[in-house]
Amino acid sequence: MAKIVAWADHRSAVFGRRKRARQERWQFMRSSTPVEIPVAEGAPVKALELQYERYQGEWGRSPKQTVSIVFEGLDGALRHTMRLQDQRPVTPDLLHDPNAWRFAQYWPFEKAVDLKGDILPDEAVAIAQMADISRDGREWQQARAARVASDLMMHEGNLWKRDSEPVWRVQMQAGKGIVDYGRANTTKSGAFIFRIDQQTAANDLAKQLTLKGRPKLNSMRVAHLDSAYLTVPEAGATLETAAMALRSNLRKLMSHRKVAEELKPFEQSLLSAWASGDTADVIAALQTLLRVYDGIYDPRYDDRNSHSPSEALCSWSVLLQIGLEANLIPTTLPGETTIGRLDEVADDGLAELGMDL
């Protein structure tokens, strides 16, 4: 496959003492990193179309209209064109243009400008201002630039970005099984993931999860599908997904030292259970961790969740147990799964730089 090389400008940092300064601090600068971008083979096609009905005007007093969500497929993946705020397509040369940073919603990366919008000093200028550099974060940040660019592809001179694949997310709230439309790469809440073409299986699991009332099923339907552009595994969510989702929810709570000290032994128990490969032991360790979490939770730790996670505890317990009985969770964990990488590699790199997400 043909590839082009483009230069991507982004924010980088070094830690050290500036000239005539007494204390060490972070010095931000603009770095340029070469990235390889493949050129698409063939023209984009309509790979997926979802439809749902909604009222045109006042709810219940006007006719419904059909709304379509269309995903384009390009070179084996769902993709969309990158555009600036004025809807102009993004070209590879704009990755090197500090005045075009407003397309950053498609480029999840440190911008090459400061908080006021001013262009940061060039890397050579910033380092020349340093008298002593004790730690340098450029190598990791440049590797991240290359990783972010791996989702890009050029077609007819414009950049396309890989779309996160839509899926059905099955979870439990207030004793009811719920089927939500979401994205495959989100781990913020506990849910079983089903591929977009497995809506029937998602509905069946939601019915099993419902302890009272009726399940809440999604009324969205798949109008067109080309399975060649779907990459999410056909099997339901694994226990690893559940554990990573739980760890994601605990990250902010763990940032408080006293809470982290209290939860750390139970995290170690989870790691030990995971190493044993026995699913029942892992589920028990997860539920124990949730009970401790529920006992020390304080809404002040997280403004987004102002309620106690007692309900979430019940939901997780039922969700995991039914998932095990429905063969959505393997009895024995595969050898390649790991829970040791509790945080993403990007988080580790930011921690090394003295920053956090």
Mean pLDDT is highest, among 79-93, 213-227, 249-263, for: 213-227
- Distance from C-alpha of 189 to C-alpha of 168, rounded to nearest angstrom: 13
Report which DSSP code applies to 1.
-
Higher pLDDT, 141 or 345: 141
Cβ neighbors of 93 (< 8 A, separation 6 or more) are 6
Higher pLDDT, 301 or 151: 151
Amino acid, single-letter form, for residue 281: D
Pick from 319, 266, 258: which is nearest to 290 by CA?
266
Percent of the chain topping pLDDT 70 = 68
With DSSP H G I counted as helix, E B as strand and the rest as coil, what are the percentages for the chain, rounded to 5?
Answer: 35, 30, 35
Q: What is the pLDDT of residues 130-167, one digit of tens each?
A: 999 888 888 888 888 888 888 899 999 999 999 888 99
Mean pLDDT, the chain, integer: 76
Distances (CA, A) of 179 to 54, 216, 243, 268, 278: 18, 6, 20, 33, 28
- Distance from C-alpha of 158 to C-alpha of 322, rounded to nearest angstrom: 46
What is the length of the chain? Answer: 357
Average pLDDT over residues 285-300: 69
Of 87-91, 193-197, 199-203, 304-308, the least confident: 304-308
Cβ neighbors of 55 (< 8 A, separation 6 or more) are 61, 62, 63, 64, 65
Cβ neighbors of 179 (< 8 A, separation 6 or more) are 168, 169, 170, 199, 202, 203, 206, 215, 216, 217, 218
Distance of CA 200 to the CA centre of its chain: 25
Higher pLDDT, 122 or 101: 122
pLDDT at 221: 93
CB atoms inside a 10 Å sphere around CB 57: 9
Average pLDDT over residues 114-121: 79
Cβ neighbors of 323 (< 8 A, separation 6 or more) are 192, 205, 236, 237, 239, 242, 329
CB atoms inside a 10 Å sphere around CB 217: 16
Of 72-76, 233-237, 245-249, the least confident: 245-249
Q: What is the pLDDT of residues 262-290, one digit of tens each?
A: 777 877 787 787 777 777 787 788 777 77
Percent of the chain topping pLDDT 90 = 21
pTM as predicted: 0.70
pLDDT at 353: 38
Cβ neighbors of 83 (< 8 A, separation 6 or more) are 89, 90, 103, 106
pLDDT at 303: 46
- Distance from C-alpha of 313 to C-alpha of 321, rounded to nearest angstrom: 12
21, 4 contact by CB (below 8 A): no
Distances (CA, A) of 12 to 94, 123, 319: 18, 8, 42
